[in-house]
Structure 1
Amino acid sequence: MSLLPDRAPSRRPPQPKRRDTDLFSLFGSVGPEGENRREDIIKVQTLLDCMGDYSLPHDFPTGWPGDGLWQAIRKLQKRNGLKADGTILPLPSGGVGADGVGETLAAMRDEVGDRVAGQRAYTPAEVDAHYEDEARFRNTVAEEAARPPAPRLRRRL
């Protein structure tokens, strides 16, 4: 005998937590030797695009790291007089650490924090859904283009 009620589980997807969608809250490092969690890559791509240092493919983040992202991070670091190693570390709760931990993310916040205030980061599930929709649309357009034209009817005079 179960003490649980007889009802189906909710099918609603779990809502992301505030920290998951805060653009300036990273879970780990982003960079050539970083942890590169997908949700962090999405945030960094979004911020760098807003700053003009990185162009999002299809105007939407992918969440996948690469050389273009590392170059954009280095460009930002050089512009702000920081060590240009291409790595962004999470910002500690008390601000930039004495050893410079979080200084790149702090520079990003200083530069675009006002512009992105209230904007939340996309989740990996939202990014995947965007690209799946885009692929479906491209396939539909390609299928329609591949169809032979409909026969033309002749008018009787």
Structure 2
Amino acid sequence: MQYKLPVSVLVVIYTLDFEVLLLERADHPGSWQSVTGSQDEGESLRETAVREVFEETGLDANHYGLVDWQVQNIYEIYAKWQHRYAPGTRHNTEHVFGLELPCVLPVQLSPREHLSYKWLPWQEAAGLVFSPSNREAILQLPAREKARG
């Protein structure tokens, strides 16, 4: 069995007016999140982010404003996903990226990963995601944009 590396990306996809894209997990209906995924051996974090965005939404992140927010979250791997990692691996390091789009765009879901998607105002999106680190990243959007000027 090929185990996942305990290094992942979280990519918050949003528009200029802070509409945020959320995806509903196929393996846990009712659980909403931004794009996430584990790094493959030999990939840079940016390459992981670009690959995961394409696999999960059909969007090419290279055509938009993909930014590494230089934020890392270390968290305990949820028990329900522990089997995906090598025995003894308990923590994952998540690297946060933002992907700014000019407007709401349709996405093409990977049916094995996601059931549906929706675009929501940032406050609503933050309230719906199940992951605390995903919630925190979404809540940072207005301040990040203001700082960027």
TM-score, shorter chain, exceeding 0.5: no
- TM-score, normalised relative to structure 1: 0.24
- Alignment TM-score, normalising by the size of structure 2: 0.25
* Larger Cα-atom Rg: 1
Give the structure with the higher percent helix: 1
* Structure with greater proportional strand content: 2
